[in-house]
């Protein structure tokens, strides 16, 4: 594709070269949580993430790309143009100013925050839903990995409790590898929504080493919300009071425990197995 095609260059006839440009200042604000909350938007970097956004219901407001590396993302730019997304050409200096990585990729996009609400998870769970509930995860990589695992098993969504790392933190967004565009992810008060889920017949469970049933003896075929706690402290005492059942992950080796993301992944794939996963011919 010729990157000089008028379709691709719509809205990008001039190159933004100054880091003092008002739009650049606005996009730079998205590197901070305060800026993201103020604008109701967040920034994604790289060809893969931008493609995932373009192919979801959360269409980017604008796609900015390097004036020197446009050929590297030509197909993506064509796809964005066909979806009516504004395209803006920027210099490498501007690209570095707006993005978080040490070696900026050739493209980034500004995207509105996810529209989901906690009530949407209730609705999605009443039949046979499976929701991952996050209670205070602090590491962006762990949160991103849990979201990817939830996406991989076909979970109904993810609920982020207070004290959890910002979903729109650039490191979290990168760690999801685009999975944040594939399932509902919402923030909510667990003290409100866990009892609400239980009142609708949804079982609420969490991992614990003591006084817990084996993961493999627990029935995940029912509608389930499963709580994963903080990396160091586990599920908080307040949230433990709202949990109906505790499960443990059996281990034969000498390791005392698994990290939060690994534990969540083990639980989620056991839930998928119980729910009758049937591998396809491409597995």
Q: Whole-angstrom Cα distance, residue 134 to residue 167?
A: 11
Tell me what pLDDT residue 278 has: 55
SS (HEC) of the chain? CCCCCHHHHCCCCCEECCCCCHHHHHHHHHHCHHHHHHHCEEEEECHHHHHHHHCCCCCCCEEEEECCCHHHHHHHHHHHHHCCCEEEEECHHHHHHHCCCCCCCCEEEEEECCCCCHHHHHHHHCCCCEEEEEECCCCHHHHHHHHHHHHHCCCCEEEECCCCCCCCCHHHHHHHCCHHHCCCEEECCHHHHHHHHHHCCCEEEEECCCCCEEHHHCCCCCCEEEEEEECCCECCHHHHCCCCEEEECCCCCCCCCCCHHHHHHHHHHHHHHHCCCCCCCCC
Q: Whole-angstrom Cα distance, residue 205 to residue 193?
A: 13
In which residue are the tokens 């944040």 written? 180
- For 12-37, the pLDDT digits (tens) are 456 899 999 999 999 999 999 999 99
The answer, yes or no, to whether residue 10 has pLDDT greater than 70, is no
Tell me what pLDDT residue 280 has: 54
Tell me what pLDDT residue 142 has: 96
Measure the CA dihedral 255/256/259/262, to 10°. 60
Tell me what pLDDT residue 117 has: 93
More confident residue, 147 or 3: 147
Q: Dihedral sign, CA of 113, 68, 48, 133?
A: negative
- For 41-62, the pLDDT digits (tens) are 999 999 999 999 999 999 999 9
- How confident is the prediction for the chain on average, in pLDDT? 89
- For 160-171, the pLDDT digits (tens) are 999 999 999 999
The answer, yes or no, to whether residue 123 has pLDDT greater than 50, is yes
Look at phi and psi of residue 165 and say left if phi exceeds 0, alpha if psi is from -120 to 50, else beta. Answer: beta
**Mean pLDDT (whole number) for 209-215:** 85
Alpha-carbon separation of residue 79 from 2, 54, 75, 86, 214 (angstroms): 13, 8, 6, 11, 48
pLDDT band at 234 (very low <50, low <70, confident <90, very high): confident
**Mean pLDDT (whole number) for 227-254:** 90
The answer, yes or no, to whether residue 126 has pLDDT greater than 90, is no
């Amino acid at each position: 594709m010729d990157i000089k095609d008028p379709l691709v260059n719509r809205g990008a006839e001039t190159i933004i070269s100054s880091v003092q440009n008002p739009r650049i200042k606005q996009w730079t604000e998205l590197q901070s949580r305060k800026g993201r909350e103020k604008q109701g938007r967040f920034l994604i970097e790289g060809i893969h993430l931008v493609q995932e956004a373009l192919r979801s219901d959360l269409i980017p407001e604008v796609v900015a790309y390097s004036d020197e590396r446009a050929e590297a993302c030509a197909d993506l730019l064509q796809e964005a143009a066909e979806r009516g997304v504004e395209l803006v050409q920027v210099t490498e200096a501007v690209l570095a100013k707006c993005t978080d990585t040490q070696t900026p990729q050739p493209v980034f996009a500004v995207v509105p925050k996810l529209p989901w609400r906690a009530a949407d998870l209730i609705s999605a769970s009443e039949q046979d839903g499976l929701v991952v509930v996050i209670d205070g995860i602090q590491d962006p990589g762990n949160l991103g990995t849990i979201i990817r695992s939830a996406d991989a098993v076909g979970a109904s969504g993810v609920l982020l409790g207070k004290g959890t790392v910002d979903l729109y933190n650039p490191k979290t967004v990168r760690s999801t590898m685009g999975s944040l565009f594939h399932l509902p992810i919402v923030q909510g008060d667990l003290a409100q929504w866990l009892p609400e889920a239980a009142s609708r017949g949804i079982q609420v469970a969490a991992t614990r080493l003591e006084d817990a049933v084996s993961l493999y003896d627990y029935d995940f075929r029912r509608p389930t919300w499963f709580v994963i706690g903080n990396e160091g402290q586990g599920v908080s005492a307040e949230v433990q009071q709202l949990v109906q059942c505790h499960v443990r992950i059996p281990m034969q080796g000498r390791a005392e425990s698994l990290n939060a993301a690994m534990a969540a992944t083990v639980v989620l794939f056991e839930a998928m197995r119980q729910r009758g996963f049937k591998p396809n011919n491409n597995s």
